[in-house]
Structure 1
Amino acid sequence: MFHAYPTDAWTATPKPGFTSSLSAEDFKAVFRGHPGGVAVITADAGDGPVALTASSVSSVSAEPPLLIFSISALSSASDVLSRAETVVVHFLDANDVELAKLGAARGIDRFADTHRWSRLVTGEPVYRDVRAWVRCAVIDRMDAGTSTVIAAHALQSHIERDAHAGGPGDALVYHNRTWHRLGAHSRIEG
């Protein structure tokens, strides 16, 4: 059954003539069954580094190289990410699950372990030994309900562990409120 209703300008307010929308609980239930790749996003707008774990990172365009992600207004990193001119998006695999958990934890200093991270020559905080990272310039922000969608232009990248084309890789995904490793065992031939 189709439950979506058009809304005005990406807000939570239904267009005139529509009196209801999907409840928050129903919406969350739909997405619990939809796995997402896991990334940690870092930034520093001059007040010190912030980090958060996100499963909303998506490729938009290869030429120019653009990606998007969203952040909740409730995130402790949202203020800095609303002002940062650049971000580093760390693309994680199963070897990086501890970093994913660190970025998702509440009320802790995600940069207390100084051996785990450094700064790029351009100043952005970057975690070491992750599968890959991309330094990006923020090109646009859009309020969407209780979140902000951020569009970014990829400027620089580093790949520590490459997933070979057609190979199983060692991907980390978030599904139904838990972390999962994708590999040869989860591959479906078709």
Structure 2
Amino acid sequence: MSTPDTATKGLEPKHGFASSLSPDEFKSLFRGHPGGVAVITADTGDGPVALTATSVSSVSAEPPLLIFSISAMSSASAVLSRAETVVVHLLDAHDLDVAKLGATGGADRFAQTHTWSRLVTGEPVYRDVRAWVRCAVIDRMDAGTSTVIAAHALQSHIERDAHPGASGDALVYHNRTWHRLGEHSRIDD
């Protein structure tokens, strides 16, 4: 057990550590850790934005909370950093085009008007994706070059449900490549 003096020994001011992984080392570490794929949309009045994220995680079922992070380098970060509500689209392999669109820099993510619409509350939502959840942003935390956003789930729609125990067609991002999880990737105990 550490005391307050030994717990901070070796720390530089403002929570900086004496040693740290380089950005390349850190990226290499997480390249081997797959993440589910989501697209996050919002509009604060200047037009809709979207970005693809693998950082979405559920935090609590009661109340229903989730978190995700956005890089300050994303073209959508300015809007997402002030949006009061967002729509998180939870994608499967059938939604690969939407995932790629949200990940492509400089793309007009809303040019194809037949692929999206607005909820009655105004948020942009992609049609026919596996599932989406409309959320109220409840907190933001700066974390390095990113912002972690906590959100309360308000409304959802499931187009294609993955039934308990079924493999579904989950879309994951692993080692800079898109992958489909299915029966072929299942490992039994």
State TM-score, norm by structure 1: 0.92
CA 1:27 to 1:14, structure 2 compared with 1: closer, same or farther past 3 Å? Answer: farther
Whole-angstrom distance in 2 between the partners of 1:88 and 1:35: 22
Gaps of 5+ in 1: 1-5
Whole-angstrom distance in 1 between the partners of 2:178 and 2:13: 33
Whole-angstrom distance in 1 between the partners of 2:81 and 2:45: 12
Task: Tell me the equivalent position of 2:120.
Answer: 121
Conserved? CA contact 1:64–1:153, under 8 Å: yes
Task: Tell me the equivalent position of 1:24.
Answer: 23
Task: Tell me the equivalent position of 1:96.
Answer: 95
1:162 Cα deviation after fit: 0.1
1:103 Cα deviation after fit: 0.2
Task: Tell me the equivalent position of 2:139.
Answer: 140
SS state at 1:106 partner:
coil
Conserved? CA contact 1:14–1:21, under 8 Å: no
Task: Tell me the equivalent position of 1:184.
Answer: 183
Indicate the structure (1 or 2) with the bigger Cα radius of gyration.
Answer: 2
1:13 Cα deviation after fit: 7.2
Task: Tell me the equivalent position of 1:65.
Answer: 64
Whole-angstrom distance in 2 between the partners of 1:144 and 1:179: 26
Conserved? CA contact 1:60–1:67, under 8 Å: yes
Whole-angstrom distance in 2 between the partners of 1:22 and 1:13: 18
The amino acid of 2:87's aligned partner reads V
Task: Tell me the equivalent position of 1:41.
Answer: 40
Task: Tell me the equivalent position of 1:168.
Answer: 167
1:15 Cα deviation after fit: 3.6
1:14 Cα deviation after fit: 7.1
The amino acid of 2:151's aligned partner reads A
Whole-angstrom distance in 2 between the partners of 1:75 and 1:130: 22
Whole-angstrom distance in 1 between the partners of 2:106 and 2:167: 35
Whole-angstrom distance in 2 between the partners of 1:67 and 1:34: 20
Conserved? CA contact 1:37–1:55, under 8 Å: yes
Task: Tell me the equivalent position of 2:4.
Answer: none
CA 1:24 to 1:13, structure 2 compared with 1: closer, same or farther past 3 Å? Answer: farther
Conserved? CA contact 1:14–1:20, under 8 Å: no
SS state at 1:180 partner:
strand
Task: Tell me the equivalent position of 2:148.
Answer: 149
The amino acid of 1:62's aligned partner reads A
Whole-angstrom distance in 1 between the partners of 2:20 and 2:161: 42
Gaps of 5+ in 2: 1-6
Cα deviation per residue 1:101-149 (whole Å; 9 max; x = unaligned)? 0000011110000000000000000000000000000000000000000
Task: Tell me the equivalent position of 2:55.
Answer: 56
SS state at 1:123 partner:
coil
1:95 Cα deviation after fit: 0.2
The amino acid of 1:39's aligned partner reads A
Task: Tell me the equivalent position of 2:129.
Answer: 130
Q: What percent identity do the matched residue pairs reach?
A: 82
Calculate the aligned-residue CA RMSD, in Å: 1.6
Whole-angstrom distance in 1 between the partners of 2:188 and 2:122: 44
The amino acid of 1:186's aligned partner reads S
